[in-house]
Chains A and B, each alone.
Chain A
Amino acid sequence: MSGALDVDITVRQGAFETRCTFCAQDGITALFGPSGAGKTTALRTIAGLVSGAAGVVRVGGKVLLDSAQGIDVPAEKRRVGFVFQEGRLLPHLSVAANLAYGRHGGRGPSGPALQNMAERLGIGHLLERKPRTLSGGERQRLAIGRALLSDPALLLMDEPLASLDPARRVELLPMIEMVRDEIDIPIVLVSHNVSEVARLAETLVVMDGGRTLAAGSALEIFSCFETDAVLGQGEAGALVEGEVTAIDSEFGIASVDLGGAKLELTQDGFAVGQHVRLRILASDVSLAVGDASAMAGLSIRNRLSAEIQAIAPDLAGGPYAELLLGIREGSLRARVTRKSLVEMELREGQSVTAMIKAVSVERRRSVG
């Protein structure tokens, strides 16, 4: 397998071993997990900042690390941009000089590229200022701009949003999406925020205790049981993507096609043809045996035919059971009580109707 980015690394630091394995395509890959999971270590190893790492790192076919072949490209030759959690700005230089530092430490020509980058990141009016006078969000944008000006083949971001208050976070998210959409390089982002990951990630790598629990397409990984331990039971659920096919303005309802299955959403502001990514929590999905799609006398309108693909016991040993459901394209998660499981005689392979009580919209994008 090979993609825009291939990572298979093992790092030993004292008694702690970090293993991280994934393949990513273009777009954003999220390294997700609790603190101490080894996410930052993995990121630093990809950048070449950790010595003695074993394994392979390839970016767009270029080998940066292959310990079996004795290849270990030094950090300054990897062309891997790194946005550190704390910004790491040069305190004695102006914003402009900090940006220019991305060009071979201030030696390369910058001029229009620098001005252009500053404008796009919304810091064009701050060029004369010193970093200490900037807000947290401005500092992060400066750090992103500086990394991008170094013309990287890969951009790494270590919790770029963690140090920001919610309002600044909302400002910076679209900036990261702009970078993703306008600059054609893979991005790897460390996060322990579920909604950030649900919104941004194309590829999801779930880590815990120095191990990679699951890695793959965000849509697949979000709904698999392995991620529940990291997400927490309350956050377990599925990500699905679809297209808005119709708007019923009389009732304020938008129809979304999920590869054959139809959902109705009430949120405003949709347009026909828009691509949407939706998150459906396991606790918001109820099950009915048989074909309930035509059943009258139910206020829940979103009823999808599904097949039970797997059943797992409640993680905490509580009264629930976790179910993985296959719909036409993609999957859903549902949580029912163990009592229902027994009384309804639910089993793997069975056809059911999934009734969805709530949906949150994580991403919407008009396709031009």
Chain B
Amino acid sequence: MSDTEIQIVLLSLRVAGVAILIALPLAFAVAWLFARHDFPGKSVAQALVMLPLVVPPVVTGYGLLVLFGTQGAVGGPLRDWLGVTFAFRWTGAALAAGVMAFPLLVRPIRLSLEAIDPTLPEMAQTLGVGPLRRFSTITLPLALPGLIAGGILGFAKALGEFGATITFVSNVPGETQTLSLAIYSLLQSPQGDAAALRLIGFSVVLALGAVIVSELVQRRLGVGSGDE
């Protein structure tokens, strides 16, 4: 692989990695809210979280542009106060990837949270175990399979994100041109076939690797505690 191709792969890994690292705790909080609490407007909130999965990615990208663009309702204040900009930056690509992967993170985490016996924390209370310790010894370990499954699935999705990214932050080589965008660009040019094939091969290997690693980790953890 050429230096440019390695750059593309490294950029894609960084974009997807940052996207999932930031999205995972948020997805856990949302999944916890949905799994354990009832509140007015819950079904609307659930539909909103699932939206990126069903709306055309271009539409999601346009929505991000409107909200997080330099003039956007959120993007403007973020730039002014925190100095964070998204437009045409890899951070924008990470945001797009994170938003698109979010529903895929929430679902498995929510399922594993719902599978936890809700009476266990109460049992821990009678043993004198405080709330933080209850979370770290019961909720977190029992939700781990969902976190891993969601994380891997979301990472694979973030790595291959195309529509929302190109709409939101365009296709800037070295900055926002991730794997899918680079493959698309290479296929547009007459000499690009060989390079495109190498990147395609690499993305297939990466995806397969992710799935295998997730399987191995889950088996190692003895996941699916097996009761009931």
Contacts of A101 in B (CB 8 A): 124, 127, 129, 137
A146 CA to B141 CA, complexed, in Å: 20
A88 CA to B118 CA, complexed, in Å: 10
How does the 8 Å CB contact mask read for B101-127 relative to A, with 1 for contact and 0 for none? 000000000000000010110111111
Contacts of A78 in B (CB 8 A): 126
A147 adjacent to B225 (CB under 8 Å): no
Contacts of B117 in A (CB 8 A): 88, 91
The smallest beta-carbon distance between B13 and chain A, in angstroms, is 31
Most buried by B among A75, A78, A92, A102: A92
The smallest beta-carbon distance between A113 and chain B, in angstroms, is 14
Within 8 A of B (CB), among A22-52: 47-49
Q: A92-B225, A105-B133, A131-B227 known; A147 and B127 CB under 8 Å?
A: yes
B225 adjacent to A49 (CB under 8 Å): no
A75 adjacent to B120 (CB under 8 Å): no
Contacts of B20 in A (CB 8 A): none
**A133: nearest chain-B partner, CB-CB:** B226
B128 adjacent to A76 (CB under 8 Å): yes
Q: A88-B119, A132-B226 known; A82 and B137 CB under 8 Å?
A: no
**B225: nearest chain-A partner, CB-CB:** A91
A105 adjacent to B126 (CB under 8 Å): no
Within 8 A of B (CB), among A78-118: 78-82, 84, 86, 88, 90-92, 101-102, 104-107
The smallest beta-carbon distance between B128 and chain A, in angstroms, is 5
Q: A102-B127, A105-B134, A150-B127 known; A132 and B122 CB under 8 Å?
A: no
How does the 8 Å CB contact mask read for B199-228 relative to A, with 1 for contact and 0 for none? 000000000000000000000001001110
Contacts of A75 in B (CB 8 A): 122, 125-126
A74 CA to B142 CA, complexed, in Å: 25
Contacts of A49 in B (CB 8 A): 122, 125-126
Instruction: Please give the number of chain A residues whose Cβ is less than 8 angstroms from any Cβ of chain B in the complex.
Output: 30
B128 adjacent to A107 (CB under 8 Å): no
**B221: nearest chain-A partner, CB-CB:** A92
How does the 8 Å CB contact mask read for A312-344 relative to B, with 1 for contact and 0 for none? 000000000000000000000000000000000
Contacts of B225 in A (CB 8 A): 91-92, 132
Q: A104-B128, A104-B129, A132-B225 known; A88 and B141 CB under 8 Å?
A: no
Is the CB of B138 closer than 8 A to any CB of chain A?
Answer: yes
B123 adjacent to A88 (CB under 8 Å): yes
Contacts of A92 in B (CB 8 A): 141-142, 222, 225
B142 adjacent to A91 (CB under 8 Å): yes
Is the CB of A77 closer than 8 A to any CB of chain B?
Answer: yes
Is the CB of B174 closer than 8 A to any CB of chain A?
Answer: no
Q: A91-B225, A92-B141, A105-B137 known; A76 and B122 CB under 8 Å?
A: no
Q: A84-B119, A88-B123 known; A77 and B141 CB under 8 Å?
A: no
Contacts of A77 in B (CB 8 A): 128
A90 CA to B138 CA, complexed, in Å: 8
Q: A88-B117, A88-B119, A90-B120 known; A76 and B125 CB under 8 Å?
A: yes
Most buried by B among A78, A105, A130: A105
Contacts of B138 in A (CB 8 A): 90
B129 adjacent to A147 (CB under 8 Å): no
**B126: nearest chain-A partner, CB-CB:** A82
**A102: nearest chain-B partner, CB-CB:** B127
Contacts of B126 in A (CB 8 A): 47, 49, 75-76, 78, 80-82, 147, 150
Contacts of B124 in A (CB 8 A): 76, 101, 105
Is the CB of B130 closer than 8 A to any CB of chain A?
Answer: yes
Contacts of A147 in B (CB 8 A): 126-127
The smallest beta-carbon distance between B32 and chain A, in angstroms, is 18
A200 CA to B5 CA, complexed, in Å: 77
**B136: nearest chain-A partner, CB-CB:** A105
Contacts of A146 in B (CB 8 A): 127
**Chain A residues engaging chain B, CB cutoff 8 angstroms:** 47-49, 74-82, 84, 86, 88, 90-92, 101-102, 104-107, 130-132, 146-147, 150
List 8 interface pairs A-B (beta carbons < 8 Å), by A numbering: A75-B126, A76-B128, A79-B128, A82-B123, A90-B137, A90-B138, A105-B134, A146-B127
For the complex of A and B, list the 8 residue pairs with the smallest distance between their C-beta atoms, beginning with the closest.
A91-B225, A105-B129, A82-B126, A88-B123, A75-B125, A150-B127, A105-B133, A91-B227
Other than the given A88-B123, A105-B127, A131-B227, 11 more pairs (CB < 8 A) read A47-B126, A75-B126, A76-B125, A79-B128, A88-B122, A92-B141, A101-B129, A105-B130, A130-B222, A130-B226, A147-B127
